[in-house]
Structure formats: C-alpha cells, structure tokens
Amino acid sequence: MKLLKIIIFQILTAVLLDVGASTEWFTKLSPSVTDIFFNQNKILIHEFSTQSKLKCIHKCILFASTCQFLQFTNRSKCTIYNSIQKENPFEIEDFYLREKKLVKIRFLNGSFMDRIQLINLPEVLNLSRNGINLIAPFAFAGSNKTTILNLSCNNLTIIYSKSFYGLIYLKTLNLSFNQISRLESDVFKDLSLLAFLDLRYNSLKFLNGNIFDNLQLLQDINLEFNQIDSIERYTFKNLNKLEKIILNNNCLKVLEPLFHNLISFTFLDVSSNQIRFVHNYTFMSFQKLAEILISSNQIFEINSETFKGAQSLKKIDVSVNKIQKVDANFSMNVASLKQLDMSKNNLSFISPDIFIQLVNLESLRLDSCNIKVINLNSLVKLKYLFLRNNFINFFSQNLSSLIELRLTYNPLGNLTYPLITSQNSALTTLGISYCQLNYIDLNILRNFANLKILNIAGNLFTLNNDTFYGFKSLTVVSVPKEDITRFKIIYPNITFFIF
C-alpha cells in the first residue's frame, strides 16, 4: 500500500474527550494511493469552518467510527466523510485517512453500530424502528449467516452500493416504511439468493433499468406507496423466478414494456397510479401471467391489443378508470379470463355483445357503468354478476350457472318476466333493491329453489304478510324499516335487515 505519510497525527482521546486513553492515527493520502479505500460515492457526514486542524480531528472522533476520512483545506474548511471516491489524483488533495476503520451503521440518535458488532449475526436480524439513517458500504461484510434482514420503519434516505455486501445468504430484505428516495444502480448486486424484496412506503421516484439484474432467485417485489413516475424499459427482465410485482399507489402515467423474459410471472398490481395509456406490447409473451390489477387510473380506451400476449390471464381489474371505448376484439387475447371488473367506467356506448366471447368468465362486475342494454347469454359459466347502479330496464338472460345477481339501483319497473330463463337455476343471492319496481310476480322468485339472500327493499310495491311464503331456502332478506318487526314475527327462520 503506497501511502505518502507526510503527517501522522497521534492523539490521545483522553485529552480531547475526557475518556480512557486510546490512539487515533490520521494519515495523509497521496495521489498514488491504491483503490482499496475508495467506494463508488462520497458520503459526506459533516462540514464546518475552522482554522484549527486539531478541531477538525476532534470533530471526526466525536462522530465515532462513522468518520473514516477528513479533509482540511487551506481555506480553513473541515469536511468529514464516511467514504470517498477517486476520479483523479487531485480529488484526494488534503484528505486524511483515519486508520481506525470500523465500518458502521449510523442511528438517528447519534449512536453507531460498528462492523465488529455485525459479525456472527443470527439468521433472522430485526433492526426495525431503530432510527437508522445511514448504512455505510461494507457494513455487513462479516454477516454471512443472516437470511432475513428487517430494516423497516427507520429513517433511511439513500441506499448506497455495497450496503449489503457480505449478506451472501440473504433471502428476505425488508426496507419498507423508510424515506428512501434513491437506490444506487448496483445496490442489490451482492444478494444473489434474495427472494423477497419489500420497498413499500418510501419516496422512490425512478427505477434504473439494471437495479434488479443480479437477483435471479427473486420471487416477490413490493414497491407500493412510493412516488415512482418513471421506470426504464425492461427493468424487470430475465428474472426467472419472479412471480409478483406490486406497484400500486405510485405516479406512473404510462404502462410501457417494463417486463421481459419473466417465465414465472403471475401477478401484477399497478392500481392507483395515473396511467392513461397501456402500450400494446406491455404484456407480450407472458404465458403464466394470471392476474392484472390496473384499477383507479385514467385509462380511456381498451383496444384489441391492450392485453395481447397474456393469454393465460384469469383476472383483470380495470375498475374506476375513464374507459369509454372497448374494442370489439379485445376479448380475443384474453379467452381464458375468469374474472373481469370494469365497474365505474362510462360504458354507455359499447356494444351490448362486447362480452359474448368471454365464454370462460365466472365473475363479471359492471357496477356504475351507465349501461342500458347488455347481452350475456353466451356466458354459460358465469357465477357472479354485478350490474348495480346502471340504466337497465329489462334483464332476462339464460344463465343457469349464476349464483349471485346484483341489479340494485336499475329502473326495472315491473318485474313480470324471469330474470333467469333456465329452469335449473343455481341462484342463491338476488339484489333488486331500489329498482323502481311497481309490481313483482313473486312466483318468478319462488321458482329459484336455491335462493337464500334476497334484497328487495326500496321499491314502490307493498309487502304483505304472504310475500315470503313458499320460498324453499330463503334465510336473509332486506326490507323497509317499517316492515321489519312484523316479518320477524311471521317468519322467525328468516333474518330481516334494513338495506
């Protein structure tokens, strides 16, 4: 090691700090110093003005082992560093190395955890709620047994390169509920066994395209409740074990092709962002992708190729968007779909036959969509149908598999026709409250032999004492407030409630 030892300071901390005597060595670095002391970034701890080099050294010692370098210039300025970088020989002018190099974790209350305290740590290490605001590079260099590390609920703002160096067996890393705004591009490079990464509730705004490159065993990434508005293309690439990505409650405005060659990818949540557009190639070649949650965004159109490539999709939630247009061929790319939620969009202008090709659909939610007419007769596997708060004035479908039907807040008027034309209906739950019904043929409802729950309150006809007579399986009914007492007496085996 080529160090130019121009000045060597030997200081008794007993003189400076009134504590037991120990020796501190500070060696001035030369331009020819080897790279052994350098990191990718400078980490500045403190700086102040003073004409005394001794005071500068004193201040370094007060920062305990987090002070690794100090710089004292002719301009009477003292700067204390945790780590430094070397870009050219002149960058280290007037720098001094503190030879007591114990790499550390710094706590908000001013205390530190030295590397010597981070040796032979247990497999499960919980450092949550400790006020930690800095993890220096190589802090965990001797921690080669830990498999689970919890750093949640601290005050971390930046995670530097080599912060997790040495954690060679780490499988779970929890960094949630901090204030992290920046991750250096290779911060996870040394965590080749990492399977679960939790970064939720931080202040991240950007994800570098190479941030996850070395995490070949990663299965689950949680990034919800950050401020992410930009992610480089194909940031999530070649991660063969990755199954779940959670990005809800961020600030994404466009969903671009962020994903590539994720052969195990099954779940994506990008709900509650500001997404207006989904690129046509976003979901290409995902043979196992089963669930996409993209609700509470600002999407205005679903075209024929929005979900192209995700042929194994089982669930799509695009509720609470601004969708007004759905291409007639969109269902061709999602033929395996079982659950679809498009509630709270303006679908008043879509074709009534838009869903007829989704023959595997089991659950369809279209609440508050301004729908007037709909044709679902081809959905022979449909079990759950929600059409509340629309403008439907006639509903009669051949849906023998339907278990739950919710039509509340639709202007059905007079119910003199079968809601379900099949003679072998499986219907157990029916909601027709507040449907402006002047008349209802109760024999139509009595034919539903499996009906257990009936919401019928808020209509215009009068319920008499015989209204619920003859229902074979009825157990729960909603009625107007004024009718509850008498019906409880007449039908003790039925639970009545106010809707």
pLDDT tens digits along 253-271: 999 999 999 999 999 999 9
The residue with greater pLDDT, 131 or 407, is 407
pLDDT given for residue 130 in this prediction = 87
Is residue 273 exposed (0-12), middle (13-18) or buried (19+ Cβ within 10 Å)? Answer: buried
pLDDT given for residue 7 in this prediction = 33
Asked if 420 and 445 touch (Cβ cutoff 8 Å), the reply is no
Q: Please give the helix or strand (H or E) that residue 129 lies within, else none.
A: none
C-alpha span between 451 and 404 (Å, rounded): 9
pLDDT over threshold 80, residue 490: yes
The residue with greater pLDDT, 212 or 118, is 212
pLDDT over threshold 80, residue 105: no
The residue with greater pLDDT, 166 or 386, is 386
Rounded mean pLDDT, 28-43: 67
pLDDT over threshold 90, residue 211: yes
User: Which residue carries 């407030």 as its tokens?
Assistant: 481
Q: Please give the helix or strand (H or E) that residue 266 lies within, else none.
A: none
Q: Please give the helix or strand (H or E) that residue 443 lies within, else none.
A: helix 442-446
Asked if 359 and 380 touch (Cβ cutoff 8 Å), the reply is yes
C-alpha span between 232 and 1 (Å, rounded): 41
**Amino acid occupying residue 117:** Q
Best CA proximity match to 243, nearest among 258, 257, 222, 264:
264
pLDDT over threshold 90, residue 117: no
3-class secondary-structure state, position 37? helix
pLDDT over threshold 80, residue 360: yes
pLDDT given for residue 37 in this prediction = 61
pLDDT given for residue 62 in this prediction = 75
pLDDT over threshold 60, residue 106: no
pLDDT over threshold 60, residue 22: no
Rounded mean pLDDT, 11-15: 28
pLDDT given for residue 76 in this prediction = 81
pLDDT over threshold 50, residue 8: no
C-alpha span between 167 and 173 (Å, rounded): 10
The mean predicted confidence, pLDDT, of the chain is: 86
The residue with greater pLDDT, 448 or 122, is 448
The residue with greater pLDDT, 137 or 241, is 241
Confidence category of residue 491, pLDDT binned at 50, 70, 90: very high
Confidence category of residue 392, pLDDT binned at 50, 70, 90: very high
Percentage of the chain beyond pLDDT 70 is 87
pLDDT given for residue 35 in this prediction = 55
CA distances from 182 to 207, 208, 240, 316, 379 (A): 9, 10, 26, 32, 48
C-alpha span between 463 and 305 (Å, rounded): 50
Rounded mean pLDDT, 318-341: 94
C-alpha span between 312 and 336 (Å, rounded): 6
**DSSP code of 149?**
E
The residue with greater pLDDT, 139 or 473, is 473
C-alpha span between 286 and 369 (Å, rounded): 30
pLDDT over threshold 90, residue 288: yes
pLDDT over threshold 80, residue 110: no
C-alpha span between 316 and 78 (Å, rounded): 58
Asked if 267 and 290 touch (Cβ cutoff 8 Å), the reply is yes
**DSSP code of 89?**
G
Q: How many C-beta atoms surround the C-beta of residue 89 within 10 A?
A: 12
pLDDT over threshold 70, residue 87: no
Concatenate the DSSP letters of all residues of 370-434 into one string: -------TT-TT--EEE--SS--S---B--TT--EEE--S----EE-S-SB--TT----EEE-TT
